[in-house]
Structure 1
Amino acid sequence: MTASTSVPSVALNDGTSIPQLGFGVFRVDPAETARIVSDALEVGYRHIDTAAMYRNEDGVGRAIAESGIARDELFVTTKFPNNGSSSAADALRHSLDQLGLERVDLYLIHWPRPRLGTALSAWQELIELQREGLATSIGVSNYRIEDLEQIIAETGVTPAVNQIELHVEFQQRELAEYHAAHGIATESWYPLGGGEISSAPALLEVAKAHGVTPAQAILRWQLQTGNIVIPKSNRRERMAENLDVFGFELSDVELRALAAVDRGAAGRRGGDPNEL
């Protein structure tokens, strides 16, 4: 069995599914993206996550085109900036042109933008794009509970995914519990949380017990928690390491030990949706 076929899928609320472990290209140099994504595809990743704001969709598209992998074997996500610069329809068509694709498997609203007041209108646009067949599934990113409540109440359409910052020091339990109660899949960006997390004593103990790296232990925790994860790396050996997390399982005791690493809001490392 290859690494790509061993990755489990998570069922989404619209009847589709998503590979639980993918490859993200946040902060990947646009000039290096095609090479890096090509390496990821060769290693075995079949789920690629990008965004218009990353300015590297064209590199992702080149890597996909050069890979020779059938389109139906790939899962591609990109995101609408929702920053007032364009409509979702124009943004998605530009993204598709950059990616060289006729549709994306998942289209997300990158930020709710409470200061702009566009959380709902952007969602209404995505619903129409899904109806047009330009996005198989639609979802959001960095949406808060109040944003989710608003768009569901106003449209009757529940996002398939909410992609949020989530790692062992910032577990966003209240939001994740809301997702579970409403059939929304939780997807973790920045799933490893940065190098300093790797030195947490509880994490080092779990990693040592299984003979794996701290990063592998974190990813295993993410997977067993039920989250979709999209780690990134510029190094091929690290890509392979991040994909090699299906040969061991954490015990309930170990899962509780890692749950205790949570620092709540103090653990946030990325942007705060309340402020953007």
Structure 2
Amino acid sequence: MKREQGLELTTTLNNGVKMPRLGLGVWKTDNASAAHSVKVAIEKGYHLIDTAKQYGNETGVGKGIKEALKETGMNRNDLFVTTKLFNGDQGYDSTLHAFENTLKRLDLTYVDLYLMHWPVDGKYIDSWKAMEKLYREGKVRAIGISNFDNKRLQNLLNHSDIVPAVNQMETNPINQEKDIVETNNHDGIQIEAWSPLGGGESLSDPEIQKLAKKYNKSAAQVILRWDLQRGFVTIPKSSHDKRIIENSDVFDFELSDDDVKTINGLDKGKRSLWYNDFAWHGGKTVDDVDKWDDSPANYKD
């Protein structure tokens, strides 16, 4: 990944820490696949790796990191590793305990960014205070949030000492969360896009397909470039070597202002997950850690 077309490979967070603009996500990836994907990604130039306890693959991610560092001769501080506080672990003491177990699974001494995965009502303030403690102790280089709407973000800011460095949101052409993006930009909080490709609906959109043909790029590359030109950090998920490599090839072209506006016009507000989808918020989805056959006892905190 080379710096081209006026884009920096990193962004500077509100605490001065530099974060890569493009990384690898590993949601819905078992430990063996995660280890392989992480190793390949790092060897091919990725420096940002994003996981979570929820994904059930922190052990695999840690293994992939260790293997890649050995293979490439890179150092741990060459990478930016993100993981997340599980909803079921929220609360002050339980957050501190959960973080120590996360470090053990990753086999790391620190993480670069620790995110609160979702704002569990009644608990997220206490959880944030514990995360502030981890930050002050130097166990994490930055702390942030994920999936926070403006109402919950404002409540957090009213009861916290540290402004989140990042808000990781589901943002893609069909779900752009424009009000949240505007508020986060105003507060100096970096937006990071999860599910940036928006699944098959975004990738197959006729306007995206036209732009892919125009720029001689894939639909995924067009969308990721759109993310980067809007100042986002973006973490496409793939377990296929070819796509991992392809997704990083987005620094040698630039979308025109008109083409950016075209994609901006595709917003349908179609979220794949929101608060009512979780049992902790009155929904029907059981909020549990994903479990994989290759690590049946991996997440007994």
- Judge same fold: TM > 0.5, yes or no: yes
- Matched residue of 2:19: which SS? strand
Maintained 8 Å contact 2:3/2:251: no
Partner of 1:156: 161
Partner of 2:249: 244
CA distance 1:4–1:88, change in 2 (3 Å): farther
Q: Distance in 2 between matches of 1:4 and 1:223?
A: 14
Amino acid at match of 1:121: D
Partner of 2:182: 177
CA distance 1:77–1:212, change in 2 (3 Å): same
Which segment drifts farther, 6-15 or 153-162? 6-15
Partner of 2:104: 97
C-alpha distance after superposition, 1:38-92 (max 9, x if no partner): 1111121111000011111111111111222201100000000132477111111
Partner of 1:73: 78
Percent identity (aligned): 41
Q: Distance in 2 between matches of 1:275 and 1:147?
A: 17
Partner of 2:275: 273
- Matched residue of 2:83: which SS? strand
Q: Distance in 1 between matches of 2:2 and 2:222?
A: 19
Q: Distance in 1 between matches of 2:216 and 2:277?
A: 41
Q: Distance in 1 between matches of 2:201 and 2:147?
A: 23
| Aligned-residue RMSD, C-alpha | 1.5
Q: Distance in 2 between matches of 1:261 and 1:95?
A: 38
User: Which runs of structure 1 show a deviation greater than 6 angstroms over 4 or more consecutive aligned residues?
Assistant: 4-7
C-alpha distance after superposition, 1:216-258 (max 9, x if no partner): 0000001101111000111111111000000000011000000
Partner of 1:56: 57
Residues 112-127 of structure 1 mapped to structure 2, 5 A cutoff: 112-114=119-121, 117-127=122-132
- Matched residue of 1:138: which SS? strand
Q: Distance in 2 between matches of 1:233 and 1:33?
A: 9
Partner of 1:24: 25
- Matched residue of 2:88: which SS? coil
Find the partner of 2:211 among 186, 206, 210.
206
Q: Distance in 1 between matches of 2:89 and 2:185?
A: 31
C-alpha distance after superposition, 1:145-173 (max 9, x if no partner): 11111111111321000001000000000
Q: Distance in 2 between matches of 1:11 and 1:227?
A: 12
Instruction: Give the gaps of 5 or more residues in structure 1.
Output: none
C-alpha distance after superposition, 1:93-125 (max 9, x if no partner): 1111111111000000001022xx112111111
Find the partner of 1:87 among 86, 94, 98.
94
